[in-house]
Amino acid sequence: MNQVLAKIAQHEFAFDGQEIERRLANVVPDPIGEHFVVVGGRRFPPKQVIGLLTGLDRADFNTHQARRVLSRLGFTVGRRSRESQGASPNRPGPHGGREADLLRAFRGRWVAQRGLEVIVAADTPEAVLQWLERHNQSADAMFRVPGDEAEATGVAPA
Amino acid sequence: MKFDFKELPGHSRDYLRPAVPVRLEGLARAPQLCLLDTGALHNRFAAWTATAAGIDLAGADRERVAIGGFVAIARQAPVQLTLGEVTWEAPVWFCDPWPLAFHLLGQEGFFRWFKVQLRTAAYEIEITPEA
């Protein structure tokens, strides 16, 4: 992860990739619109990240500026509409393993899901509920993504 | 009502579980994933859901139960549950600790009210309210 100097809304900023990961470690992502950036295995709206780092109002810059900076820092950026469907006829499951793959990054965490998409993930169920309330969002399902076999099956550990 | 089996990630292999989203009164924004557990006598939910939903467990019946390899203290309250468009009232035993990824729907609080068909080969669940 490198460092990048960028000018946004007439202000110059120095961004550091490791510092961004540290600062976002305890931040719950806002709802994802079309664009996202992956930081620490979680998806954030790019404007949320840049707004948090710079203190700028999100109306002062656009998504493409935010994506460009984060991409130059080495973070993965993407668009939801271009994501591969990814289902494999050779893997078991109603979604050919795609749902399990989407949930894999959230093992051991609480998630709220709409369709197959995780709309929020947090370390406690209370944080997930607070996020849904704060953002006036409703989920299709909420659960803890199992961190080990016992959580998924209910069997006693060996 | 039709539901898909839930795909959950695992270490060496993934898990396919017959689980459905049930709305607990007071938690309308976050339907809770519940395993259809034909071996369970009662509905069993994590205790945090009662706290979050504002369900008063003071003075509730209390028992010590062993569930799938762990022991929990369970307290019972009658609550309103909703699956799809169907709402019913049933006792739920709220358990602490609760290390499972999902809650459990059992015979008394769920299966007696619904006809449940599992098509495991197709990863499908069909649930119809009993007349």
Instruction: Give the predicted TM-score (pTM) of the model.
Output: 0.80
For residue A88, pLDDT over 70 is answered with: no
CB atoms within 10 A of CB A75: 20
Q: Least CB-CB distance to A97: which of B4, B14, B49?
A: B14
Torsion on CA atoms B11, A149, B49, B90, rounded to nearest 10: 130
* Interchain contact, B68 vs A104, CB within 8 Å: no
Residue A85 confidence class, pLDDT cut points 50, 70, 90: low
CB contact under 8 A, A142 and B31: yes
| Burial status of residue A146 (CB atoms within 10 A of its CB: 0-12, 13-18, 19 or more) | buried
Segment B79-103, tens digit of pLDDT:
999 999 999 999 999 999 998 999 9
Q: How far apart are CA A145 and CA B53, in angstroms?
A: 21
CA distance B121 to chain A (A): 9
Query: How far is Cα B31 from Cα A143, in angstroms, rounded to an integer?
Result: 9
Contacts of A150 in chain B (CB under 8 A): 68-69, 99
Backbone angles phi, psi at A129, to 5 degrees: -65, -40
Furthest-apart CA pair in chain A: how many Å?
Answer: 60
Residue ranges of A 67-96 with Cβ closer than 8 A to chain B = 92-95
Give the separation between CA A15 and CA A69, rounded to whole angstroms: 8
Q: Is A19 on the interface with B (CB under 8 A)?
A: no
Looking at residue A156, its amino acid is A
Residues of B in contact with A97 (CB under 8 A): 7, 14
Using the predicted structure, report yes or no on whether residue A61 has a pLDDT greater than 90: yes
Strand pairing of B32-36 and B86-96? unpaired
